[in-house]
């Protein structure tokens, strides 16, 4: 949206003359509020722009969020949109008890596993109560995500709608934070961008690619922060929680994955998750070092899938990719042997859900092991698809089916709880790509159930 005035956003909203002083105008100081600056309203956006305002429908969509796009929100004074929601007694009560709400959400995030779960995302959420109050942008994003999850938990549509308003306000505030050289590289802003990305993954049923816009900003922010800024435990937990999204962005966008460098591998190996035990924690870090190479392999693979293999250039590229894939297959096979020596491997058991298609499922020792092994299964599907397309000898089709089924058999265990769909989103995407019609229909049924709490896995997004 193009600004109609050169004044700061707040002076434009108040329709008063702005003196355009840098870095903030005097008018805002007079009103006792921080100047939002003079640039475009949003650095990170979601939703698709409309040319004209659309009349708001009564009620809300199935996810409880307002029906307008964020571009429409830009054209309206923020306080005009949110005043009525701020006065709700239930929201006021939640505001006063945010610490309690954060505690409840931390427990819900971990369920059905222990509240002190060693899973990196659970650990990251465990930091939120201690960092609340450090930064205005982060505070808004924490309140937004917490209000949404609590609203869903209590079936409170007003809380969910309020969360959407806080999310919009967070975007306004984030623009100021990323434009401030002293604030933009802080761990608090890093954490805020992560929460905004997760908010889109959990809530946006209208735009399957909205999370990618935040993931792009997240990737750029982490790369610009640099590996040297990871100095505290909070920095390392944030990086470990963010790296999956960074790799996913690289995979789906076609962009290189900067985490594949030795500098970042060294940083990620520091401060391993002690909750897993030293040996297993080191194996988890080793797998992620391998996993950061997956985007590069996949990008080369997609270039070759429809290429002319009678062309000498294509044959050369296929040969180079084959060498890389075989090397990674060897590393992953050795990794599996090492990890099986330090933690129990999953065992087959009867499904408790009465599933007829996968009546036998996998039972794991904990969700961290389940998540990392599902990542391994996904990587092996990719490797064997590359070997098959490149014409390397072996029954790669059978191997693809085996690893695909390992992913599907893991759903009953690892897709439970609020974070379950988040843990299984990528493995199910890989399994879906190589599934036969019957298995694809089964996966679509799983996705339909999981999308009730995690919008990113809606079956329509996988088509």
**d(C-alpha 109, C-alpha 195), whole Å:** 14
pTM for the predicted model, two decimal places: 0.78
Chain-centre distance for alpha carbon 424: 12
Q: Are residues 284 and 265 in the same domain?
A: no
Domain with 21 in it: 1-35
The per-residue b/e assignment along 267-281, b for 16 or more CB within 10 angstroms, e otherwise, is bbeebbbebbeeebb
Q: Are residues 261 and 118 in the same domain?
A: yes
Q: What pLDDT, on the 0 to 100 scale, is given for residue 418?
A: 84
Give the 3-state secondary structure of residue 19. coil
Q: How far are the Cα atoms of 228, 241, 268, 460 from residue 263, in angstroms, in the given order?
A: 9, 18, 9, 38
Q: What pLDDT, on the 0 to 100 scale, is given for residue 264?
A: 95
Q: Are residues 267 and 336 in the same domain?
A: no
| Domain-embedded: residue 67 | no
| Domain-embedded: residue 51 | no
**d(C-alpha 19, C-alpha 11), whole Å:** 9
Structure tokens at 374: 């599902």
DSSP string, 75-98: TS-HHHHHHHHHT-HHHHHHHHTH
The yes-or-no verdict on residue 393 having pLDDT over 50 is: yes
Q: Are residues 266 and 346 in the same domain?
A: no
Q: What pLDDT, on the 0 to 100 scale, is given for residue 306?
A: 79
Among the three residues 252, 271, 290, which one is the final residue of a domain in this structure?
271
Q: pLDDT of 59-105, one tens digit each?
A: 433 333 333 332 223 333 333 333 333 333 344 444 447 777 777 77
Q: Are residues 231 and 362 in the same domain?
A: no
Q: Are residues 301 and 225 in the same domain?
A: no
Q: What pLDDT, on the 0 to 100 scale, is given for residue 331?
A: 98
The yes-or-no verdict on residue 408 having pLDDT over 90 is: yes
Burial of 158 (0-12, 13-18, 19+ CB in 10 A): middle
Q: What pLDDT, on the 0 to 100 scale, is given for residue 263?
A: 95
| Domain-embedded: residue 87 | no
Q: Are residues 324 and 448 in the same domain?
A: yes
Q: Are residues 254 and 176 in the same domain?
A: yes
Asked if residues 106 and 123 have their Cβ atoms less than 8 Å apart, the reply is no
Give the mean model confidence (pLDDT) for residues 384-408: 95
Q: Are residues 387 and 440 in the same domain?
A: yes
The yes-or-no verdict on residue 283 having pLDDT over 50 is: yes
| Domain-embedded: residue 200 | yes
Give the mean model confidence (pLDDT) for residues 11-28: 74
Residues facing residue 348 across a β-bridge: 362
Q: What pLDDT, on the 0 to 100 scale, is given for residue 218?
A: 93
**d(C-alpha 23, C-alpha 35), whole Å:** 8
Among the three residues 271, 290, 316, which one is the final residue of a domain in this structure?
271
**How confident is residue 6, by pLDDT bands cut at 50, 70 and 90?**
low
Selected residue with higher pLDDT from 190 and 18: 190
**d(C-alpha 321, C-alpha 328), whole Å:** 11
Chain-centre distance for alpha carbon 306: 30
Selected residue with higher pLDDT from 308 and 289: 289
**How confident is residue 114, by pLDDT bands cut at 50, 70 and 90?**
low
Provide the mean pLDDT of the chain: 82
Q: Are residues 241 and 374 in the same domain?
A: no
Q: φ and ψ at 114, to 5 degrees?
A: -65, 150
Q: Are residues 239 and 349 in the same domain?
A: no
**What CATH number is associated with residue 27?**
4.10.240
Give the mean model confidence (pLDDT) for residues 137-148: 91
Instruction: Pick the closest to residue 158 from 259, 46, 82 (CA basis).
Output: 82
The yes-or-no verdict on residue 46 having pLDDT over 60 is: no
| Domain-embedded: residue 324 | yes
Q: Are residues 312 and 455 in the same domain?
A: yes
| Domain-embedded: residue 92 | no
Percentage of residues of the chain with pLDDT beyond 90: 49
Look at the chain and report how many structural domains it folds into: 3
Among the three residues 271, 303, 328, which one is the final residue of a domain in this structure?
271
CB atoms within 10 A of CB 283: 23
Q: pLDDT of 211-232, one tens digit each?
A: 888 899 999 999 999 999 998 9
CB atoms within 10 A of CB 239: 25
| Domain-embedded: residue 444 | yes
| Domain-embedded: residue 420 | yes
């Amino acid at each position: 949206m193009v600004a109609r005035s050169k004044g700061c956003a707040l002076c434009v909203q108040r329709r008063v003359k702005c003196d355009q002083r840098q870095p903030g105008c005097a008018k805002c100081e007079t009103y006792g509020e921080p100047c939002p600056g003079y640039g475009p309203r949003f650095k990170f956006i979601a939703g698709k722009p409309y040319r004209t305002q659309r009349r708001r429908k009564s009620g809300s969509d199935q996810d409880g969020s307002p029906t307008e796009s964020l571009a429409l929100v830009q054209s309206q004074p923020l306080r005009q949109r949110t005043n009525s929601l701020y006065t709700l007694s239930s929201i006021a009560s939640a505001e006063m008890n945010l610490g309690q709400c954060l505690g409840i959400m931390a427990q819900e995030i971990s369920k059905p596993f222990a509240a002190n779960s060693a899973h990196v995302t659970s650990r990251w959420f465990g930091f939120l109560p201690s960092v609340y109050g450090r930064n205005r942008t982060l505070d808004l994003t924490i309140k937004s995500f917490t209000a949404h999850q609590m609203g869903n938990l209590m079936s409170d549509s007003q809380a969910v709608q309020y969360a959407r308003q806080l999310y919009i306000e967070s975007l306004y505030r984030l623009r100021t934070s990323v434009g401030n050289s002293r604030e933009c590289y802080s761990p608090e802003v890093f954490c805020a961008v992560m929460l905004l990305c997760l908010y889109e993954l959990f809530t946006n049923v209208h735009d399957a690619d909205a999370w990618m816009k935040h993931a792009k900003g997240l990737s750029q922010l982490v790369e610009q922060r640099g590996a040297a800024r990871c100095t505290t435990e909070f920095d390392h937990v944030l990086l470990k929680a963010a790296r999956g999204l960074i790799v996913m962005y690289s995979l789906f966008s076609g962009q290189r994955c900067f985490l594949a460098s030795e500098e970042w591998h060294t940083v990620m190996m520091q401060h391993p998750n002690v909750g897993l035990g030293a040996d297993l924690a080191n194996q988890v870090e080793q797998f992620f070092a391998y996993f950061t190479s997956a985007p590069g392999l996949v990008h080369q693979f997609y270039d070759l899938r429809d290429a002319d293999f009678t062309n000498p250039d294509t044959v050369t590229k296929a040969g180079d990719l084959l060498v890389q894939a075989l090397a990674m297959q060897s590393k992953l096979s050795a990794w599996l042997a090492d990890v099986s020596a330090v933690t129990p491997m999953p065992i087959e058991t009867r499904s408790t859900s009465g599933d007829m298609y996968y009546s036998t499922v996998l039972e794991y020792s904990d969700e961290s092991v389940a998540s990392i092994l599902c990542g391994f299964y996904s990587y092996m599907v990719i490797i064997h698809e590359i070997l098959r397309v490149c014409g390397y000898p072996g029954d790669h089709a059978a191997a693809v089916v085996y690893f695909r089924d390992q992913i599907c058999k893991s759903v009953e265990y690892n897709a439970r709880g609020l974070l379950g769909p988040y843990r299984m989103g990528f493995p199910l995407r890989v399994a879906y790509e190589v599934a036969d019609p019957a298995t694809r229909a089964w996966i679509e049924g799983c996705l339909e159930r999981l999308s009730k709490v995690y919008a990113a896995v809606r079956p329509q997004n996988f088509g």
